[in-house]
Amino acid sequence: MNNLTKILFVLATGWLTNTIQAQSPQDRIHYTGKELSNPAYHDGQLSPVVGVHNIQLVRANREHPDASNGNGWTYNHQPMLAYWNGQFYYQYLADPSDEHIPPSQTFLMTSKDGYQWTNPEIVFPPYKVPDGYTKESRPGMQAKDLIAIMHQRVGFYVSKSGKLITMGNYGVALDKKDDPNDGNGIGRVVREIKKDGSFGPIYFIYYNHGFSEKNTDYPYFRKSKDREFVKACQEILDNPLYMMQWVEEADREDPIIPLKKGYKAFNCYTLPDGRMASLWKHALTSISEDGGHTWAEPVLRAKGFVNSNAKIWGQRLSDGTYATVYNPSVFR
């Protein structure tokens, strides 16, 4: 594993297991090793991976807010990492103190070497929910001076023409018990990150039901005069693997979603024979033989994995082996 791969794995965070394979349409991802983590211990009682460095990008401090810690916002989560144009791009969500408690925004940091990072910069700012907004699931409640909740499972896309697009999603939680990822949000936004480090304008690439250009603060991406940017956004919409990342926030039963099930935090990689292997929270797994348009059902748990309600990342390494990064838990 080269140094770049090592840094990518550490920044993704979690535990590294040794192999995952899928040999036939009947087989699914499964753990072939014998050593299991012990979730009663913070390190799982596993040996550290030799050569991997643990790098802290942000040290949150509510009492001493400054530019280096996102001005003191302390609920920082859901990191996304890309490597483009000779440097790392790191996107993460932030709330002042608690998950799904507004206001909410998305930060971006960059690094040439993975060790020295820029201060967090707002890439998607807080967004005001229109006053009077309602949900059927929260009868009698209306939005008033409410800020949207940001939540996205995918943060970057590199287009065929080489453009780097970052993306986020604005959902709505009418109170502390409401779910902002229920398909009743505002929509998904995109903007270009340019080679000089500047950002392009923010556009919507997807509207949830009830929203359009007429009642939102940003235009639809097709209004951009940059034709290559428009093409890049259309590539995202035409990519079923990216649509699988939108399941939680998109309208329920939207035709653009390939597998309309409540599985969360989709991740996939390509097998040597061209098929796609997928992973979701709870170590659920399936196989696609058509590039992600359809998935084998039933979706099954990956045998041997100690994993529950947390993200899980699978990837083929440069030496042809497979690895996963995830947080261990008691459920097998």
Question: Which of 188, 197, 171, 168 shows the shortest CA–CA distance to 86?
Answer: 197
Q: Do the Cβ atoms of 202 and 218 come closer than 8 Å?
A: yes
Percentage of the chain modeled with pLDDT above 90: 71
Q: Write the pLDDT tens digit of every residue in 256-307.
A: 999 999 999 999 999 999 999 999 998 899 999 999 999 999 999 888 887 7
C-alpha 155/C-alpha 239 separation (Å) is 15
Phi, psi torsion values for 323, nearest 5 degrees: -140, 155
C-alpha 131/C-alpha 185 separation (Å) is 14
Instruction: For Cα atoms 248, 251, 253, give the angle at the middle one, nearest 5 degrees.
Output: 95
Percentage of the chain modeled with pLDDT above 70: 91
DSSP character for 220? B
Tell me the residue type at 211: F
Structure tokens at 246: 């939108």
Q: Do the Cβ atoms of 138 and 175 come closer than 8 Å?
A: yes
pLDDT of residue 330: 65
pLDDT of residue 4: 39
Mean pLDDT of 39-47: 82
Query: Counting Cβ atoms within 10 Å, is residue 288 exposed (0-12), middle (13-18) or buried (19+)?
Result: buried
DSSP character for 168? E
* Complete DSSP assignment for 296-317: -SS-EEPBT----SS-EEEEE-
Grade residue 11 by pLDDT with cuts at 50, 70 and 90. very low
Mean pLDDT of 78-83: 95
Q: Write the pLDDT tens digit of every residue in 213-238.
A: 999 999 999 999 999 999 999 999 99
C-alpha 200/C-alpha 297 separation (Å) is 41
Tell me the residue type at 81: L
Residues 217-220: contacts with CB within 8 Å, 24+ apart? 217/127, 217/128, 218/189
Whether the predicted pLDDT of 157 surpasses 50: yes
pLDDT of residue 13: 36
C-alpha radius of gyration, the chain, whole number: 20
Question: Which of 262, 263, 259, 204 shows the shortest CA–CA distance to 230?
Answer: 204
C-alpha 164/C-alpha 332 separation (Å) is 38
DSSP character for 10? H
C-alpha 138/C-alpha 45 separation (Å) is 44
Q: What is the pTM of this model?
A: 0.88
